[in-house]
Structure formats: C-alpha cells, structure tokens
Amino acid sequence: MGNKYAEGKIRDFELTMEDAARVAECFNSFDDSDSWPGGFTHGNPFTAERIYESAKKSDDMRILVAYVEDKIVGYCNVCEGFYDPESAYVGLLGVNPHYQGQGFGKALLIEAAETAARAGKRRIDLHTWGGNLKALPLYKRVGYNWMPGTRVLMEGHIPGILNFPLFKEFFNRYYWYDAFKREIRQEPDDLVLEGIGLFKYRFEGDDGDSLTVMIDREAKGICGFELIMDSQTISAHLKPTSHTGYIGGDAVPIELVIINETAENIQYSINVTSTKELVANLTGQSSGVIQQGKETKVNGTYKIPFGVAPLDKDDAADEKVKSWAEWKLTINGTTVSLFAGLIPTEAIKITSTPEYPSIFPSMSTDLAIGFENTTKEDIQLEVVVTAEKSCRLDETTYSISLSALESKEITTTIHDTGQSRNFVSVVISVFKSDRKTQGLIARKTLKIPKKQQGIAFAYHAMGEHIVLENDQVRYRFTNKIPLICRYIERKTVGDYIEGWMFGISLGLPFPREGDEWTRKDLDIEVSNTPDYAEITVTGDSDDKPGLRYTQRYRLYSKKSILEVSATLTNVGKEPIEKLGLSCGGWIDYRSQMMTVPVRSGIYQLKDPSWGAGGLPDKPDYYSEQWFSMYDMSANSTLGFMWEKEHLEKIFLSGNVPRPEYILPILQPGESKTYLILKSTTKSGDWRTIRSMWAKENNIDLEGKPPTPIIDQLSVELSNPDSRISSKSGSPLFVDRAKPNDVQLTVKVIQKEPIVAKIRIIPPDGILINGKTNYEMNSEISIEKPLKKALSITVEDGDWLRVEGKIEFTFAEHIVRRQFSVIVFDSKQEAKKQSETIENQRLFTLSTSECSIGVSPDHRGSLVRYTNKEGESVLLDRFPDSGPYVWWDRFFSGVSPILFDKRVWDWETKFSKEEWEAEYQKYEPWAGYEVSSILEYSAGIKGFEISARYLLLKGTNLVQARLQVKNTINITKTVKMGFKASPKLDQSHLSNIHTILLGTHLTHEPVSMRTSFKSDAEESWAAFENSITGQVLGVISTEKQRSNLFVETISDEAQLFRFLDLKKVRPGEEKTFICYLLITDSVEKVQLLKNLPDIV
C-alpha cells in the first residue's frame, strides 16, 4: 500500500498550539450549512486551547489533517471501534467548504482505510446523515456501504480486503482505489442474495484481471471471493441457507463451495472456530485436493444454543452478531479467514402487559402474557406458567395455536404468598407440540417487584434488559457490555426520557469512541439491599495491567437518587498512573428551561438559541455542583450532581453533564471508589434539585418550589351545527348562512355561590340576540353552573373575528376572557379534482379561501395547502420525496408519523406502506381520508391507520386527524402525529412564535440549528413571513403534555412535528388531532390555540 493521493495533501496532526489553532480555524469553517446542516459550532467557536486539550487526552489511533501550504483545510481522526475490536472508526471527517472538490476528503478517507488495515482491522466505520448529498457518494467511492436499517452507519471493509493473503499479489499489481468499481446510489446498500444480506466489492485490472469480494453483513467479514489473474480463477463462497437462527431451534445448513479454475490441482483444508453463542459443525470433508476445473463443497450446520440473548435488528441494525464462526481455509499453504453468522432470534417472543408488573404484598394482580410467532410456520404450543414458592397461580397450563407471524395473549392471576421479601417470580416455559417435534423452544423468568414505599429493586427484565426502579422512577439499562441506560421512566409524571446515558469511561486518555470496556465479555450482576439496589460489572484491564475495574449504578430506596461510581483496585505489583474517570452520553430531551449555578448567580437558559455547549468547563466557575432541566408541562425536573474533588472539567454534551476526573496514583493493594455523577428526577423546578444537592452535601440551604396557579373560571360557547365540541377558551363556530342557536356555559370551582355581572361584547359583525352588547347577572357555584341559550347571527366580514370579550365582574375582582368567532359557510360549494403525476395520485379540494391536496401514494400526506392566490405555505416538491437536509427521504406537506416507541429507524419501513384515499364530508367540513393496514413497520405490523384532512367551508381552517387501531392482540406503546416543513417564502426562513415557559417567544432564525417545544397547555406555533406578513398557524388539541416540536434545521429549512406518546391495547383506537390555518397575524393564531375536536 502507499496512498499516492495523500502526497502533498495529507499529514499527521502535531500536538502543538500552532496546529491546534489551524484545526480550530478549519472546524469553524464547517458552520457552512451545506457542510453541516444547522451549523457545526452551535454558536461556540473552537479555539486552539480547546482543540489542544481535547487532542492531548484522546486515544486516537491517528489524527490526519489535509493541508495547503501552512493552512489546515481538512480533518479526519481514526480511533478504535465501539463494540468490535476488529473495527476502526472515523470520529470526525470534514473539509473546509472553500477547498471541497479538490480531492482532500478522498485522500483523508483513503489514508484512514489504509491506517486501519495496517492496524490489522477488518473494517472501518463512520456515521453520517441520509441527506448528505455531497459526502455519501464520496464515502461509497472509497469503499463504504450504507448499512440498511441505520441512519446512517457506513461500513468500509477495505482494510480486511487489503489484508486478505490471497489478494496480496492482485493489490501489488493494482492500486486498490484505482481498481475499485461500483455503482453509486444515494440509498442503503441492501443487497440480498438467496436470503443472505451482503456487501459486494468489485476490483478490475488489466487483461481480464478482476477480484470480487462478498461481505457477510451480520458477521461483518469476508464470506466469499472470486479472484481472476492471468486467466486463472479461484473462488470460494460461504453461504448459510438463512441469516436467521432460532435460539434453541433447528440447525441452519451452511455450505462452503470452492472452485478451482487454475492450471493445477490445489490442496485445501478447513478449520472452523465459533463464538460461544454459536455451535458450528462440519458434516463434510475438511481437507483434500481439488482437481483442475473442479469444485468441492463442504457442508456444515450452525445452531444457536438455548440461553443466547436475542438480537433485535430493527432496534440494533448496526450491531455485529455475536453468533458467528471463522472458517480458516488453507489453500496450497496460504491461510485465509471467511466469516458467516446468524441473527439470534426468538421463535416465540414472550411479553407481558403491563411491561413491568408489580404486586402489593399479600395481594393479587392480573397479568397478560403475550406470545408472538416470529417464524413463517404455524406452531402448536403448550405453555406452562410455573410459580416459585413466593406466589401461586390460578391457572398454569395453556394450549395455543399460532399461525405464522401471529400474536396472542393469555391472562392469569398471581397471588403473593408472602414468602419473599421483595419479589415474586414466575417462569414461563413454551413447548413446541406437533406431529413432527416436541421440545422446549422458549423460557423466560418474570420477576415482579412488590409495591412497597421506599424500596428499590434491581432485576433482569424479560425484554433482555436490566431494571433499576423504586416507587418514583424506573431506569432501564442494557443487558450487555457496555452498560448504558436507555430509558428513564418518570412514574409520578407518566412519561419517559430516552437516550444513551451514564456511560462510564476509564482514562487516561479518555476514549474518543470505543475502548476495551465496550468490547469485553463480562458478567453483569444485580443485587438488592434494604437501602439500595445496584448493577455492577467487574473486569481486569488489558491496557493497564494490574487494574481491576468495577462499574456501579446504585439507586437508593428512599431518596430517588441514581449514583454512578467506579471502584479501582490495584491487584498488581506496580503503581498505576494516568487514571481518570468520566461519565457521559446523550438524551433526547427538549426541556423548557435549563438552570445552572455559575459563580455568584443561578442562570436560567430559556431561549432555544442559547448554546449549552458554550457553558464554562472549568470547575471553579461553578459555585454549586448541580444542573437541572425543567419541563413545565409536567412540572418535573431532571437533575444532575457531581463531585468537586479531583474534578478537572465539567461540560454539557448531548444534554447531559460530562464530568472528567483526574485521579491520583493507585498503589499496589490499594482500592478506591469514586463517585462520578448523581441523577434524579423530581416534581418541581430547579429549586428541587438545588435543595437535594444541599442535603446530599450537608449544606444549609433554604429553597422551595413555586406555588402553582390554578385557573378557577371555565367559559364555554358551543354550537351543535358546527360539529365542534365545546371547551373553555375555544372559539365559537357560527354559520353565516343562518341564525345559530348557541349555549353559554360558565363553571367555577367555588363551593359557595358567587354573584357575577356578565357582559358579552362580540366581535364586529356578530349579534347576540340581535344586539352588539349583551349583559346579565347570575349566581354561579360548582354545583350550579350557568347555562344560557343565545341566538347569534352574522353580518358580512372576515371568517376569523377575534376582537370580542366576555367580562365577569365579581365582588372583589374582574376577569376577562377573549371571545373569538370562526364564521363558516355551510352553503359554499367545494370543488373536487383528481389527477396522477408520475404514478402518484393527487386529490384536490378547493374553495374560495384555500385548497388542499392529498396523495395516498406520497405516504398518505397532505401534500399541498395553498392560500387564496394558490401559493403553498408548506414545502412542496410533490411528487419528489428524495433527500432533504438530514433525511434521505422527505415528503411534501404534512405527513403522518406512527411508530413503535422502541424503533429508531421507523421512517424507512413506514414509507413503504400503501395507502388508499376516500372523499369525506361532515357538513360543514369536507376533505379526504387516507388509510392503510401496516405491512412493514417494525413492531406494529397489522395496525390500521387513517389520516383525515378536512377543510371547513368558508374558511382556510384545516383539521388533520391521525387515527390508529391495534389489531395485533398485544398492547403497544407508539408515537404518533404529523410533521411538515413550513415554506412561506422560498428565499427566507420564517420567524417562529410560540409560548415557552409561559412567555411569548419570537425566534428570528439564523443558520445555527435550534429546536424547542411549545408549552403543553399552549401547543401552538406561528410561522411568520417577515417580508409579506403572512402567517401559518399550527395548533394541537392535545394539551396534557408537550407534543409540538419546532426546529430550524439549516439556513434553508424549518420543521414542525406533532408527536405524542400513546399506549394502544388490543382492539383499541387512539387519535391525534391538529389544525392548520393561514392568517395575517400571530395574535390570531394564539387566540385560536384552544381549537377543539370535531364531534
């Protein structure tokens, strides 16, 4: 090897302040939105000091830079892979936009691949995003493949190919990059041959010389090749009949075919070694001679033993399977390795509803147990549910017939016998019972904690994860190395936070990506005591001989604090230096206020444009050691606390504080435990976290949460003819074509009656009982609400009228409520039209005020929503759904969202679903409904889904409703809603208005990426064209929790998402509703924030 493309362009980074300054300048150039949507620095420019300190502590294999004279114009760091010791990883790749297109990125990637090859790695990975139109073709040209099901993992297998002994002569003759040939497509590399997922590499030389290499996607190694040199051909291909291996199930046949088309006989031998998660057997001859022009086939079987953990590829498409085997093939004295693996899969997947059951001491509880047949065969099952001594069951044996891919639930009642202090346990055994075979095919132990106040529990859950919980919070950890917290469920709030949290790193240096502790196969232990429950894992270091390292996650029973700590023990004979501990990760959590104590003040970060990454990282800046993120909609705070001793730095990364500690020398025989981070989630705001921090550190500090303010007055105006339900604060819907019989309802929470003088002043052109001003007196109480019939007529004017008010004069105070009216026209005609554009159907409905266009073939989207002039206010590329900013596919207009909450890459399969459209009319509303029965979406196949888009005649008000029905017999928790990219102006971003933390927010965007969510009780946003003043309003009817997310994702694109969490039981339907309107002021959108549902 020898990278001719690197000459005069690529060198190694030098750990000097001069080079650090050059890299900082290069990094700051990445803020160009074409290079990094939303910006790279996030408003916190890189400095030489920041680069130098980071590089000094890193453990990169190599840091490469591209240069022009004395200027660094590109950067690429190569580090160890995360899970797999056979992999390397490109942590960051970037080229100054002014120098792109000149071969610097290519040269960096070629050098990175050859660096990995020299280090003996089989592959090199990197991550990018699907909408990266510039870089994705480059990655593929240098040998990277887009791993299907990921967003977006690129795997490069060039290192393993270059190190393959049989290919040495070929690559001595031809430089690999020049010989490499492939077709470039901006899509996942989903090559499947005879049911096996593969990556294909093709190299071509002169005079017919060529090399074709096949990569097993699951084992992530070479599984086959065909080498042609000087008209001599030799090939070998290792092929299992399937990539799916059922745990404890039948053996999977596998075959190795070797073809000799050379000029002489060849001798071969085969030696197979497998991981402990796979049993590999050879049934054919393992050595011999292959005659010229002949082939030989060596047969074998793969079997996954009972007890192996399953791997859900829908949730972890990027993971290498642990159930693989290496076939060492020796040909004429040269030994090469071929790899093939199986995905360990449960033939019968067992679940429980509730997912985490519990039981009161000496009481009973009902439990639903679900069984999903993941095979393509009908199965007859015998299910035996066995109770341990701690409990008894009403029924223990069940016969179940499951068709292919079918699911069913059984129910049983568990009775606690009082013989166990903390848990009752139930063993669920599933036996296959048919004419062919009988035997155990699945077994799960369900541990059920006893509901006891002030008790913490640690246990292995049925879903292949570990739970730490008490009566307030539940932490869900991975049941594999590395130990990571994936979910925090706040029981008192009823929501959850997901992410990749509390990953402990051991230094120094700290790993950039993976290290030995992300790749070791260690036992994970759980333990329970009266005061706490904990998870621990212990291992001996290879990188630091003599060091025994224990990671610990401890949840206390009564104070709801999770402690993250580590114990370091020197079991060697020499002192151990250069020790450090850190803890970090990321969470997908958009809090409405972050609070942090800096020097003499407590800073509250409310504006979404703030750069959290710009907070000081020196410990001396922090007067107190805590940090909080407050969600006003739930009145709940996620808080973190850290230690002062040995703290070197503290900074925010991925919404999680990352402390870094530099530790003293550890002497032989010495053992020390270090607390790294504490986490808690509590009701209240930052004051709760501060008080807890003070209590933990014995600091005398007074603080209490604010007193909540409750609205005591509810005012409803309802008109049955509008098909709109009534709720307090919603506008009144009236028909301009006729008189309207309306009811006024006023409720108060006072027990004793109070007297009110009520004065109603309607908007212009609205008459109440023939008057422009209506007054009355009434006595109102909780037992005696006011109900008053009124007659309302409409005079000429706009469809939206917002200037009215209702005034209540009580004995000691005056309360005013806005009185807004939406005027529809039940007599107006709506024009229907249908057409097909590039094989995509489009159904249009038009009135004098606006038009809507719906396409079932465009993921069931409302693809167009236009104003009077026919101008769309949403991104309209219909029928194109190609790459857009971060996404490899993006749909015009408003598109529905539905996915199982545990599926990360839901869009790829959801976009494959087929929809049908039907015209709907609910006078005075009309529009289209699209529907589908899901066939591809992971976890929710079989769900029925419909998206309905209705226009209110005489207005430009549009309602979007998403409805789902669970038809798969197992309870599911889904996320559902809509998303769209507003586009009021083709050349400018819109100003965004909403209510955040009770305050009106006006966000004037720049290229820097920002994201925030509206207050739950508000749930509206307005996108304002700063040139024309036109406003697009979006409103959710769901006010229980925040579900409206708004983002500026680049200097050309914005996004809003309605996304709500729903638990859907078998046979149950759930609905989400939102509205869109076009108007001339932000205030009108806000006044309509309480739009109700259609009856």
What pLDDT, in 10s, does the model give residues 97-130?
Answer: 999 999 999 999 999 999 999 999 999 999 998 8
Q: Which of 272-276, 457-461, 1013-1017 has the lowest mean pLDDT?
A: 1013-1017
Q: Which residues of 651-687 are buried (b: 16+ CB within 10 A; e: fewer)?
A: bbebbbbbbbbebeebeeeeeeebbbbbbbbbebbbb
pLDDT of 1051 reads: 82
pLDDT of 596 reads: 83
pLDDT of 706 reads: 33
| More confident: 722 or 939 | 939
**What percentage of the chain has pLDDT greater than the value 90?**
66
Query: How would you list the strands of the sheet with 379-387, edge to edge?
Result: 397-402, 379-387, 423-433, 438-449
Amino acid code (one letter) for 1008 = M
**What percentage of the chain has pLDDT greater than the value 70?**
95
pLDDT of 133 reads: 81
Crossing angle (nearest 10°) for helices 17-29 and 48-57: 110
Distance CA 587, CA 945 (A): 29
Q: Are 889 and 879 in contact (CB under 8 A)?
A: no
Model confidence at 42, in pLDDT bands (50, 70, 90)?
low
pLDDT of 710 reads: 35
Model confidence at 709, in pLDDT bands (50, 70, 90)?
very low
Burial of 518 (0-12, 13-18, 19+ CB in 10 A): buried
Burial of 297 (0-12, 13-18, 19+ CB in 10 A): exposed
Q: Are 912 and 936 in contact (CB under 8 A)?
A: yes
Distance CA 309, CA 467 (A): 16
**What does the pLDDT look like over 579-628, one tens digit per residue?**
999 998 988 877 777 888 877 777 777 655 444 555 778 898 888 999 99
Distance CA 478, CA 485 (A): 6
**DSSP states of 652-719 as a string?**
EETTEEEEEEEEPPB-TT-EEEEEEEEEEEEESSHHHHHHHHHHHTT------PPPP----EEEEEE-
Count the neighbouring beta carbons within 10 Å of the beta carbon of residue 775.
11
Distance CA 1003, CA 610 (A): 12
Q: Which of 770-784, 857-871, 908-922 has the lowest mean pLDDT?
A: 770-784
> Is the pLDDT at 436 greater than 60, yes or no?
no
Q: At a CB cut-off of 8 Å and minimum separation 6, what does 645 contact? A: none
**What does the pLDDT look like over 932-990, one tens digit per residue?**
999 999 999 999 999 999 999 999 999 999 999 999 989 999 999 999 999 998 888 99
Task: Identify any residues that bridge with 594 across adjacent strands, giving them in sequence order.
Answer: 605, 629
**What does the pLDDT look like over 385-415, one tens digit per residue?**
998 878 888 878 999 999 999 999 999 999 9
**DSSP states of 781-793 as a string?**
-SSS-EEEEEEEE
Q: Are 386 and 396 in contact (CB under 8 A)?
A: yes
Task: Identify any residues that bridge with 982 across adjacent strands, giving them in sequence order.
Answer: 874
- The closest alpha carbon to 586, from 716, 726, 484, belongs to 484
pLDDT of 1056 reads: 96
Distances (CA, A) of 3 to 56, 102, 108, 522: 27, 16, 10, 39
- The closest alpha carbon to 1009, from 590, 655, 586, 609, belongs to 609
User: Quick one: DSSP state of residue 142?
Assistant: T
Distance CA 866, CA 359 (A): 55
Q: Are 410 and 353 in contact (CB under 8 A)?
A: no
pLDDT (mean) for 662-682: 96
Count the neighbouring beta carbons within 10 Å of the beta carbon of residue 763.
21
Q: Which phi and psi angles does 817 have, rounded to 5°? A: -125, 140
> Is the pLDDT at 267 greater than 50, yes or no?
yes
Distance CA 340, CA 198 (A): 10
Model confidence at 701, in pLDDT bands (50, 70, 90)?
low
User: Quick one: DSSP state of residue 434?
Assistant: S
Q: Is the peptide bond before 526 cis (omega within 30 degrees of 0)?
A: no
Q: Please identify which residue in the block is written with the tokens 């339907």.
A: 1069
Q: Are 144 and 159 in contact (CB under 8 A)?
A: no
Task: Identify any residues that bridge with 856 across adjacent strands, giving them in sequence order.
Answer: none
pLDDT of 56 reads: 87
- Angle CA(292)–CA(298)–CA(304) in degrees, nearest 5? 160
Distance CA 722, CA 741 (A): 11
Model confidence at 437, in pLDDT bands (50, 70, 90)?
low
- The closest alpha carbon to 800, from 1093, 1092, 1095, 1083, belongs to 1083
Query: How would you list the strands of the sheet with 87-95, edge to edge?
Result: 10-12, 62-68, 71-80, 87-95, 123-127, 153-156, 144-146
Distance CA 1006, CA 1011 (A): 12
Instruction: Return the SS3 of 277.
Output: coil
Distances (CA, A) of 237 to 259, 294, 297, 329, 853: 9, 15, 10, 11, 52
What is the C-alpha end-to-end distance of the chain, expressed in Å?
71
To which H or E segment does residue 165 belong? none
**What does the pLDDT look like over 636-657, one tens digit per residue?**
899 999 999 999 998 877 788 8
Q: At a CB cut-off of 8 Å and minimum separation 6, what does 863 contact? A: 842, 853, 854, 855, 876, 878, 891, 892, 893
Distance CA 1022, CA 1035 (A): 9
Q: What is the mean pLDDT of the chain?
A: 90
> Is the pLDDT at 707 greater than 50, yes or no?
no
Distance CA 684, CA 779 (A): 36
Q: Which phi and psi angles does 567 have, rounded to 5°? A: -110, 125
Q: Is the dihedral of CA 745, 748, 753, 754 positive or negative?
A: negative
> Is the pLDDT at 703 greater than 50, yes or no?
no
Q: At a CB cut-off of 8 Å and minimum separation 6, what does 583 contact? A: 502, 503, 504, 505, 564, 658, 659, 676, 677
- The closest alpha carbon to 548, from 690, 698, 669, 633, belongs to 669
Domains and CATH numbers, the chain: 451-696 (2.70.98.10), 713-824 (2.60.40.10), 831-1087 (2.70.98.10)
pLDDT of 995 reads: 92
Q: Which residues of 712-735 are buried (b: 16+ CB within 10 A; e: fewer)?
A: ebebbbbbebbbbebbbbbbbbbb
Which two three-digit tokens encode residue 972?
Answer: 């599911």
- The radius of gyration of the chain from alpha carbons, rounded to an integer in Å, stands at 32
pLDDT of 708 reads: 30
pLDDT of 704 reads: 38
Distance CA 928, CA 856 (A): 10
pLDDT of 975 reads: 94
